[in-house]
Amino acid sequence: MTETNISTKGSDWGYAPAPESADHFKLNEQYGLFIGGKFVPAGSGKRFATINPANEKALAQIADAGEKDVDKAVKAARTAYEKVWRKMSGRERGKYLYRIARIIQERARELAVVESMDGGKPIRESRDVDIPLAAAHFFYHAGWADKLGYAFPGKSASPIGVAGQIIPWNFPLLMVAWKVAPALACGNTVVLKPAETTPLTALLFAEICQEAGLPDGVFNCITGAGSTGAALVKHPGLDKVAFTGSTDVGKAIQKSLAGRSTKLTLELGGKAANIIFEDAAIDQAVEGIINGIFFNQGHVCCAGSRLLVQESVEQVVVEKLKARMEHLIVGDPLDKNTDIGAINSKAQCERIRDYLKVGQDEGAELFQTKCPVPEKGYWIRPSFFTKVAQSHRIVQEEIFGPVLAIQSFRTLDEALEKANNTPYGLSGGVWTDKGAKIFKVTRGIKAGVIWANTFNKFDPSSPFGGYKESGYGREGGRHGLRPYVELS
Ligand code: NAI
Ligand code: MG
């Protein structure tokens, strides 16, 4: 670690490196597919490497599943559904979910380190956010397993069948939990496809299912790239597909399922407005802007990627934001001081760099902090654009990186108009001292989640999901159970 990536305005004090160790567990050299309770190689024998984006070194070789493997996994899930899981009482199912939740807690340190190594996120986030929330999600849904009658009063809830679930790389284990916990709690079985750049914690989760004694075939995990995901969606043996990822792939999945009775939920991109009024507590709002766009390198579908700031405080907010950003530490994801880790993949890093260029070509003004970044690996310095117009691509499109677009407004109506001028509708934020304004804004923005005087807060009991091109269906809370049950 270099000591130079620490901004020490006004003092000579910096942070000494505080790396989390990675010697308390050992990754396998290679991982198979998890089908019917066992790890098996891909039929083709093909493998691909998952790398650490902070140093570009391979961490493990991963099996690359083809159509035949997908078929085996769906059949294993079907058998487990018919023979075991759908017949089991909710109370018994709940016991397995509680066990999984507890093992996630027991293996939390290992899971956090692997998550940071495989995907590049700071250890502080994987340790304090991703892994605890994944465990919480299982605890929460374990509680529902024998109480579905209370979730849907007056109705009888039965499972749907086999769910094919495809997840992205920004919150790998947490997305496993969001997808798998409600499906299993409601009596469905699962074939999961993790993202190709971050398969490791999903594979460790498969080990956890073995450790918990989960009946064979209830959870299956097939690894591979987009073609594996497409093969899963195409398989006629699925009763339900759940997808989180890009809007383009979401649309392709919707097309591929057209004309079939397979149920679908989509959690897609976002371009949230984070609105700062002149009466807000400015220093807190600045922290909220930082959290909103730089959390997880900005690889967050609900990121506050558009800042709308009231004109009277624009200058002070931008100055304070610059000063605060200069203190952000970019670097080794395993260092406990790191604020911003590595960009998840080379491809994503290039996509973000393209947007940095597009923004400047469109005439916006780019600000980037001066912090040094390591030579190896994929890095983007914390960035924002000013002088942006509503029509700019950097305002309209999801960048999915540490890049903020700043616009100003004069009146509340103008703020709402700008906030809603987007194809997306996943989240939003409002910062003000006035309760009445909070209500006007939260009612006025068409988005699934809106935070007031905070940002990026998650809880398993709170439903999450979008409007418009951000997708449909909810995850979390009672609403999140609904896509996994048939009601009669
Ligand atoms: P992606 O949508 O291609 O990847 C998400 C998952 O879908 C991965 O598991 C991938 O293997 C799978 N997938 C890809 N093509 C598929 C297909 N045809 N059928 C079924 N599954 C398929 O996202 P990508 O390319 O990694 O990222 C591109 C952009 O997407 C990002 O810059 C970001 O804007 C957005 N994105 C949004 C996410 C969100 O949480 N809303 C998550 C990941 C990406
Ligand atoms: Mg990786």
**Domain assignments of the chain as residue spans, ordered by start:** 30-268+470-487, 273-460
For atom 42 of ligand 1, the residue with the nearest CA is 245
Please say if 301 is a catalytic residue.
yes
Q: Using a 6 Å cutoff on CB, does residue 268 contact ligand 1?
A: yes
Q: Considering 115, 125, 196, 267, which one is annotated as catalytic?
A: 267
Q: Do domains 30-268+470-487 and 273-460 have the same CATH topology?
A: no
Q: How far apart are CA 75 and CA 84, in angstroms?
A: 14
End-to-end Cα separation, the chain, in angstroms: 60
For atom 29 of ligand 1, the residue with the nearest CA is 246
Instruction: Report CA-CA distances (Å) from 46 to 36, 49, 71, 302, 396.
Output: 20, 11, 17, 35, 39
Per-residue pLDDT tens over the stretch 173-182: 999 999 999 9
Strand boundaries in 187-295, DSSP class E:
189-193, 219-221, 240-244, 263-267, 273-276
Q: How far apart are CA 461 and CA 137, in angstroms?
A: 8
Q: Which pLDDT score, from 0 to 100, does residue 11 have?
A: 53
Please say if 287 is a catalytic residue.
no
Q: Using a 6 Å cutoff on CB, does residue 229 contact ligand 1?
A: yes
If you measure from the C-alpha of residue 421 to the centroid of ligand 2, how many angstroms do you get, rounded to a whole number? 35
DSSP 298: G
Q: Considering 186, 209, 301, 302, which one is annotated as catalytic?
A: 301
Q: Which pLDDT score, from 0 to 100, does residue 1 have?
A: 42
Per-residue pLDDT tens over the stretch 258-273: 999 999 999 999 999 9
The strand pair at 383-386 and 485-487 is best described as unpaired
Q: Using a 6 Å cutoff on CB, does residue 256 contact ligand 1?
A: no
Is the pLDDT reported for residue 202 higher than 80? yes
Per-residue pLDDT tens over the stretch 134-182: 999 999 999 999 999 999 999 999 999 999 999 999 999 999 999 999 9
- Average pLDDT value for the chain: 96
4 pLDDT band (50/70/90 cuts)? very low
- Name the CATH architecture for the domain at 30-268+470-487: 3-Layer(aba) Sandwich (3.40)
Please name the residue ranges forming H helices in 186-272: 200-211, 226-234, 247-257
Amino acid at 170: N
Is the pLDDT reported for residue 401 higher than 90? yes
| Interacting residues of 338 by C-beta distance below 8 A, sequence separation 6+ | 122, 123, 124, 329, 330, 331, 332
Q: Using a 6 Å cutoff on CB, does residue 172 contact ligand 1?
A: no
CATH superfamily of 273-460: Aldehyde Dehydrogenase; Chain A, domain 2 (3.40.309.10)
If you measure from the C-alpha of residue 282 to the centroid of ligand 1, how many angstroms do you get, rounded to a whole number? 35
If you measure from the C-alpha of residue 395 to the centroid of ligand 2, how many angstroms do you get, rounded to a whole number? 29
